[in-house]
Structure 1
């Protein structure tokens, strides 16, 4: 990953040098951003590698001017990729029909997150892993927990400076941790009683949900078609616009145990997806 800003000239040059130096058999291009896809496809004619387009919803569903500039013009180049990856069935429906034959649905390899199967701790708090993006129902969850006076601490991880006004909710029960190193973050998850997370946006899956499954934690999620399709057998769902729905979901996960049978089914599905990807790359 080469950090850069628009128009990504330094990142483009760094990518070029890396491809010349490493001579890879295949390149997995995580999308967005669109210019990276175009660059790897142009260089493909010289370096003779396979291009795998790892398509996330933000590449196909643009919400602002930046997305329309950096993603929309480049969607047409998916036809030149050797293989396309998506991470849920609803995003698959956004892929043009003529490209679906070379598109695989591959779940995130969440089983790599936790080293020990079903390793868990027993804490007295819940965690909301936050990115402080506009589509997160963080404020709705905090307000609901406070309004109904649920006797539980909630740790909100992530860089709250992206949304500074949110810290007005800080209290003995609502703790903003700021950015945590991986070890500290996973230790917090390990000892949590449950994970609450979500998005108001369709087509979006959540790494925080996979982390909850990796650590075998009860999970409360917003009720979107995408999340229900992925996690219907594991998670408890809530309507982010309804405080009582949020509270009921939080109370349910606090009194629940993780569905280990559903967890195992998700692991098998994830492993099968990775096997299909490996087979395609070996052809």
Structure 2
């Protein structure tokens, strides 16, 4: 058995910038549980949950954490984490993405009971907080931390790219991302290089075969390569059709000070003010937004730098509240 001073952060994904940042600031042991083959289909995804439950249980037995933080969804992870905390007396923290609160995951049996006190529930922004309150869940807001941006490579030649010469599209091909509209926007701008950084297997065969040639699919990248592509991009495109979504790519773009093109939703307007370029989820609007971002890089980078200072201050205040709530001993805040 290994002792963990502050707690264990369990994530059933390959990587999450939010987890890395919060885990680092709170001195948590972070465990990712993911298999590349699970991205091939919904059947394999469901099958992977069986293995992930076993691995998660092994982590609980090995570390015996007094604080357990679970990134949700999926709901099966909540069931196991809640049971462990109930039996061991550990404190349970549910770090809920908006999909956990606003979609079918929260409708699974007993979820409302498990997300009630004494469980601490974290959400990403005030809009998701309102959604949680509407279904009787009390929560606190912890925004996505801004990642560290030191020790970055400045060469993207191994991908056949030039610095500032491409638009980064760091999506995960989720249902709320307007993929067909993006593909059409790329067709309308054959002179612009786009770079996608997720598992291409997640795309349907129809979409995969219809993507224009000016989109480069790198597949999933390790953190150093991903950071390198981000820091050297001319602009970043992050789109969603779902209100309440706080884009991880937005936090990364702000940290790297890379011009950002976002879907025009209330959540993004409230979080990021006038620092991004806002667009509608239509091909023509997306094209205009990308062209605006590329033409106005100095002005937009200055706005992002100013926003970064404000967001860091707000996040540190939120994390300080969480540290007191969980009685953690942290040296990084």
TM-score, scaled relative to structure 2: 0.72
Q: How many residues align?
A: 272
Structure 2 unaligned regions, length at least 5: 1-31, 35-44, 156-162, 329-333
**Aligned-partner Cα distance in 1 for 2:48–2:165:** 47
- 1:39 matched to 2:80? The reply is yes
Q: 2:200 touches 2:217 (CA, 8 Å); kept in 1? A: yes
Task: Give me the CA root mean square deviation.
Answer: 2.7
Q: What does residue 74 of structure 1 align with?
A: 111
Structure 1 unaligned regions, length at least 5: none
Shift of residue 161, structure 1, vs aligned partner: 2.5
- 1:108 matched to 2:177? The reply is no
After TM superposition, the structure 1 = structure 2 runs for residues 124-273 of structure 1, keeping only pairs within 5 Å, are 124-147=165-188, 149=189, 151-163=191-203, 164=205, 165-171=207-213, 173-241=214-282, 243-256=283-296, 257=298, 258=301, 259=303, 260-273=305-318
Q: 1:162 to 1:15 in 2, by over 3 A?
A: closer
Q: What does residue 83 of structure 1 align with?
A: 120
**Aligned-partner Cα distance in 1 for 2:224–2:233:** 14
Shift of residue 155, structure 1, vs aligned partner: 1.5
- Is the partner of 2:53 in helix, strand or coil? helix
Q: 2:166 touches 2:195 (CA, 8 Å); kept in 1? A: yes
Shift of residue 199, structure 1, vs aligned partner: 0.9
- Is the partner of 2:71 in helix, strand or coil? strand
- 1:28 matched to 2:69? The reply is yes
**Aligned-partner Cα distance in 1 for 2:100–2:120:** 16
- Is the partner of 1:79 in helix, strand or coil? coil
Q: 1:34 touches 1:75 (CA, 8 Å); kept in 2? A: no
- 1:95 matched to 2:132? The reply is yes
Any idea what the Cα deviations from partners look like across 1:3-27, whole Å, max 9, x if unmatched?
4735944433433332233121211
TM-score, scaled relative to structure 1: 0.84
Any idea what the Cα deviations from partners look like across 1:86-118, whole Å, max 9, x if unmatched?
001111001236643xx2100112233x2269x
Q: 2:187 touches 2:212 (CA, 8 Å); kept in 1? A: no
